[in-house]
Amino acid sequence: MATRMNNAINKLKLSHFRQLIIISETGSIRKASEVLAISQPALSRNVRSAEEILQVKLINRGPRGVELTEQGKVIVKYGKTIEFNIRFAEEQLNELDGFQEGQINLGLGPFEGFSVGNLAINCLLDKRPKTHIVIEENEYEVLANKLIKGEIDLILGPSELDGPTPSGLVTEKLSETELVPVVRQDHPLADMQTVTLETLSKHDWILPPSQGRVNYQFNKKFIQKGLMPPKGPIRMAPQELCINFLKQRDLISLLPRNRIDSNSDSMTLKILDLTDESFSLPMQLTTRELGGLPPACRDLVFEIKLICKTLKKNEVNNFTS
């Protein structure tokens, strides 16, 4: 049986994989045919051709559209792996011909963009200005699933809250992101030399996203001190809109320290000196276990590691000085 299937799978064309991938993403023969720019009858014939080659059913048609069979899901899974490896090979060949372009699909944690992601990307673009970078900010579970499927190339920042790294992925800890409570200069707490968790629990916050690792750690710190976690009118990731809210209202938010230290916002915002607790996140790099990275991704990884090393060195120097 294994020999029969091995011989059959070798007869599939790249177009079979591509078409099944698009069908899985659209859930419709009609929509998939539009994306692929071929007729519906032609697409249906190609699917039947793949099914005849493998001697298995790959899709089921129903009133709600098209669904993949378990066999179809296997073909799509490995089809995506084939596609990103072809892309990697093309970029490697272009690199050998002297064309430093390439594409990077980067998964980024919502707290890592400020501290390392933006610095690394700026350094990369200085050296490779024609590189095309697509960034998706999300939590670990979402990004890890996309990395396994080949929809992104690497992840910077997020990590699993509990349990091991998912099978097929490799994680390397590079440093840590220090998170600090931040308020505007006119906030009632801004004049205090130091604050405690108890003090912070009595004020309104811009709270971290409810499903993320920061929210889990955030609530845990207060509960361990016998305190109720703070409340607030807004829950969001620490993006520019969050900074704008902080500048306009008496709210507190957790932000990466070097987001404030290295920015003009330090003139309008203040880091509160928290004496009885600290918040930090592991800065990690996650890639697929099998296969390499294309040149642009490798260069970005180099910049990320260099920046993390520099930040760690600066932290040691600040601590000892």
Interacting residues of 133 by C-beta distance below 8 A, sequence separation 6+: 103, 104, 106, 121, 124, 125
Model pLDDT, residue 319: 43
Model pLDDT, residue 314: 65
Structural contact between residues 282 and 181, judged by C-beta atoms closer than 8 angstroms:
no
- Which fold is adopted by the domain 177-280? D-Maltodextrin-Binding Protein; domain 2 (3.40.190)
Pairing of strands 103-108, 132-137: parallel
Domain pair 85-175+282-320 / 177-280, same fold: yes
Q: Residue 96: which H helix or E strand, with range?
A: helix 70-96
* 181-186-190-192 Cα dihedral, nearest 10 degrees: -150
| CA dist 111 → 38, 221, 254, 257, 299 (Å) | 43, 18, 9, 10, 22
Report DSSP letters for 279-310, one per residue: EEEEEEEEEESSS---HHHHHHHHHHHHHHHH
CA angle 215, 238, 249 (to 5 degrees): 100
Report DSSP letters for 58-76, one per residue: -EEEETTEEEE-HHHHHHH
Tell me how far apart the alpha carbons of residues 277 and 254 are, in angstroms, rounded to a whole number.
13
| Spans of the chain below 70 pLDDT | 1-6, 114, 159-163, 261-264, 266, 314-321
103, β-bridge pairs: 132
Strand ranges inside 17-162, DSSP E: 59-62, 65-68, 103-108, 132-137, 154-156
108 phi-psi bin (left φ>0, alpha ψ -120 to 50, beta other): beta
Model pLDDT, residue 49: 94
| CA dist 301 → 15, 39, 69, 154, 208 (Å) | 32, 42, 37, 9, 27
| CA dist 58 → 74, 132, 302 (Å) | 9, 34, 41
Model pLDDT, residue 162: 58
Model pLDDT, residue 274: 94
Other CB atoms within 10 Å distance of the CB of residue 123: 17
**All structural domains of the chain with their residue ranges:** 2-80, 85-175+282-320, 177-280
Model pLDDT, residue 47: 94
Other CB atoms within 10 Å distance of the CB of residue 61: 11
Tens-place pLDDT, residues 118-175: 889 999 999 999 999 999 988 888 898 889 888 899 999 876 665 677 888 899 989 8
Tens-place pLDDT, residues 234-269: 998 887 889 999 999 999 999 888 777 656 676 899
Domain 85-175+282-320 has CATH 3.40.190.10: yes
Other CB atoms within 10 Å distance of the CB of residue 305: 16
171, β-bridge pairs: 286
Matching CATH number, 2-80, of 3.40.50.150, 3.40.1390.30, 1.10.10.10, 1.10.3720.10:
1.10.10.10
